[in-house]
Amino acid sequence: MSTNASHERRREGTAAADTDGPESTPAIAVEGLTKVYGDGEDAVRAVDAVDLTIERGTTVGILGPNGAGKTTTIKSLLGLVLPDAGTVEIAGIDAHEQPRAVYRHVGAMLEGARNVYWKLTVRENLEFFAALGGQSVAGTRDRHDRLLDAFDLAGKADQPVNGLSRGQKQKVSLACTLARGTDVVFLDEPTLGLDVEASLELRRELRRLADEEDITIVLSSHDMDVVEDICDRVVILSEGSVIADDSVDDLVQVFETQAYRVTVEGTVSGSTRSRLHREFDAGDWTETGDRTGFDVTLTDGDALYDVLDVLRDAGLSLVDIDGHDPDLEEVFLEVTGRADGGDES
């Protein structure tokens, strides 16, 4: 677990920057984002009124089970999917009204190694993607050398991508995404197919980019180690809605436990209490001021999503979930297993 004091320091730094001029514009601001596929009985509400503000230099993991709406959300942020409602601003620019202006600020790796040109050399690929962003070869040489070093590709710089291993192609793809030097980067499963060492290299470089270059990184990954290592913050989607949005430290603690103390705003009706008792063995109810607290015991990681769903159905606002038993790492792995769904999508 490498979420550490440097993340904390950086978060404080980001908060301080919020007070001074253009720096205060969030890297990403999403309000009421909604996307419905199809219509009538077949309609699927893939993203449902999602609000999200991501400050500059933050690294955010978007997680959730299969079909939760992660890809649709990320594609909407990139302007690749037109939402039915809501607004998306990147660096203060409306992503749907001014997609070309937004393009200057964002890089994305959505399809892994498939986005690079296999007949070009590694360096030619980097130069090609930088040129697409309007940058000269001379102006990006240092950045490209750094990326090649960071991903252990310097020795392969003049070889066609075609002859590289799958993991090396994946690293070239990521380097191409970073080659333009945009200030916001979206990465879908960036470490998929990499061996342990390459995955660690990549995590180090992403953290460095966030810490030293103030780059904002949004990534989706089914690998919780990667998320823990890279991300300051995790947003969990379920059925198109944000069901958790917290620091990695806090969420990992929740997922590693089986017994939780839940605190919600207001009072909880008798019928909701009965349901929570029936399904999650809820008990030890307390009412303090305008808050209600209770304990639940969960049999597996999936049940955490279910408790949050019950609270949402009852119109209750979650204040806190506090885990009591941090030894049960299996719970966390089960949640990861559910999000993975047995495939690599």
Ligand X SMILES: Nc1ncnc2c1ncn2[C@@H]1O[C@H](COP(=O)(O)OP(=O)(O)OP(=O)(O)O)[C@@H](O)[C@H]1O
Q: Which residues bind ligand X (CB under 6 A)?
A: 37-38, 44, 46, 64, 66-72, 345
Q: Are 209 and 180 in contact (CB under 8 A)?
A: no
Query: What's the min distance (Å) between Cβ of 333 and ligand X?
Result: 17
Walk across the sheet containing 85-90 and list its strands: 44-54, 28-37, 85-90, 93-94
CA angle 11, 12, 15 (to 5 degrees): 90
Query: What's the min distance (Å) between Cβ of 37 and ligand X?
Result: 3
DSSP 8-state assignment for residue 345: -
Residue closer to ligand X (CB basis): 14 or 238 = 238
Query: What's the min distance (Å) between Cβ of 191 and ligand X?
Result: 16
Residue closer to ligand X (CB basis): 260 or 305 = 305
Walk across the sheet containing 106-109 and list its strands: 106-109, 184-188, 216-220, 59-63, 233-238, 241-247
In sequence order, the β-bridge partners of residue 285 are none
Residue closer to ligand X (CB basis): 274 or 345 = 345
Query: Which has the closest alpha carbon to 83: 94, 93, 92, 91?
Result: 94
Query: What's the min distance (Å) between Cβ of 183 and ligand X?
Result: 24
Query: What's the min distance (Å) between Cβ of 198 and ligand X?
Result: 23
296 CB-side CA count, 13 A: 28
Query: What's the min distance (Å) between Cβ of 182 and ligand X?
Result: 22
Residue closer to ligand X (CB basis): 83 or 323 = 83
Residue closer to ligand X (CB basis): 237 or 264 = 237
Query: What's the min distance (Å) between Cβ of 74 and ligand X?
Result: 8
Residue closer to ligand X (CB basis): 29 or 46 = 46
Element (H, E) at 205: helix 196-213
Walk across the sheet containing 259-265 and list its strands: 283-288, 291-297, 259-265, 318-323
Residue closer to ligand X (CB basis): 16 or 85 = 85
Could you give the CA distance from residue 221 to residue 210 in angstroms, rounded to a whole number? 17
